[in-house]
Amino acid sequence: MDHRGPEFGRLGGEILEGLREVFKTSGPVIIYPASGTGAWEAALVNTLSPGSKVLMFETGHFATLWRSMAGELGLQVDCVATDWRRGADPAIVEAKLREDSGHEIQAIAVVHNETSTGVASRIGEIRRAIDNAGHPALLLVDTISSLASIDYRHDEWGVDVTVAGSQKGLMLPPGLSFNAVSEKAIAASKSAQLRKSYWAWEPMLNANRNGFFPYTPGTNLLYGLREALLMLREEGLENVFARHARLGEAARRAVRTWGLEILCANPAEYSNSLTAVRVPDGYNADELRKVILENFNMSLGNGLGRLQGKVFRIGHLGDFNELMLAGTLCGVEMGLSLYGVPFSKGGVAAALEHLEQTATAQSAVTQGVA
């Protein structure tokens, strides 16, 4: 397809409009033919200048990578350490911003759902903390593993740049990433001095007005994105969130019944996209994953960074339903037995009981099995 032709313009226009619903924004959403890391860089280079101060939280592996990128780009990062078992603390945000009476902090950058830990930070509360401190810093949020899976509200939460990717809640292959941008972020981009070319918002926003892009877009992925947006609209975003919450709760019930520990230490921050599970000391999560892969051809997420060998991750996001979760949990339960981890059987049964008790005909219809 000619990506400068009228048919493409219609596709582009439809997608750029439809994406707003998913981010819950009335502003523009920029699409890059890049993985999520590209959209991280775009968020920083379009809004900030060399030496700008940024407040970040080391909530896990991905937050650590984003922090490193900010350092490499020449930003001055104040990074609050955590034990990788909880999210960014709104009380610390407020305290740090109150201390900064000269308003030197230009931005707060938070990973909404830490894919490495299964912890979801409370973005609405972080917004309130910023407002309580009366601080003008921009709020940048990574929703790569939460968009279209966990409740997220770009406009209502006053987020300035939302970073997202195609390969999780949007149910697509990797290769597209996004910046939803507020008016305040666009205003900041007019004076931001970090160097940029490929990631620059302005040529994107100009070309997007007619449904086009300043360089070759990921055309095939955009066809998929149109379909993904239709699927999300058909199911209804709130139903999508409820489905993820229900599957997440069933997974957590299985883990508790096995007598294993959920990595996330704060139930208010449980992720509905994935559950990271600690293996008991003396056991290696990667050995367990290998047993499950070799016997049941199922690949679980590994422990990343400092969690390597200590946790495995059960993904339950995107195009996912009860029976897929049931199969996943069966593979884990059999793998725990085969590998010889001390645990109690019955996790699968506990998950199934929850799914059965909370079943609605609506959930079957929206998942296309009715």
Where on the chain is the footprint of ligand PLP (CB under 6 A)? 35-37, 62, 111, 115, 142, 144-145, 165, 174
Sign of dihedral through CA atoms 113, 114, 120, 123? negative
> Minimum distance between the CB of residue 210 and ligand PLP, rounded to whole angstroms?
28
Cα separation, 370 vs 357, in Å, equals: 18
> Minimum distance between the CB of residue 85 and ligand PLP, rounded to whole angstroms?
16
Q: Smaller CB distance to ligand PLP: residue 136 or 174?
A: 174
Phi–psi pair at 140, nearest 5 degrees: -110, 130
- How many CA atoms are closer than 13 Å to the CA of 1, on its beta-carbon side? 18
User: β-strands 113-114, 119-120: how paired?
Assistant: antiparallel
Q: Smaller CB distance to ligand PLP: residue 62 or 213?
A: 62
Helices 61-72 and 36-47: crossing angle in degrees, nearest 10, is 40
> Minimum distance between the CB of residue 56 and ligand PLP, rounded to whole angstroms?
13
Q: Smaller CB distance to ligand PLP: residue 175 or 259?
A: 175
**Tokens, residue 292:** 């499950």
Residue 115 · residue 83 · CB < 8 Å:
no
Q: Which residue is nearest to ligand PLP (CB)?
A: 36
Q: Smaller CB distance to ligand PLP: residue 181 or 355?
A: 181
Q: Smaller CB distance to ligand PLP: residue 113 or 363?
A: 113
DSSP 8-state class, residue 301? E
> Minimum distance between the CB of residue 299 and ligand PLP, rounded to whole angstroms?
15
> Minimum distance between the CB of residue 144 and ligand PLP, rounded to whole angstroms?
4
Q: Smaller CB distance to ligand PLP: residue 8 or 40?
A: 40
Residues near 187 by beta carbon (within 8 Å), at least 6 away in sequence: none
Cα separation, 253 vs 262, in Å, equals: 10
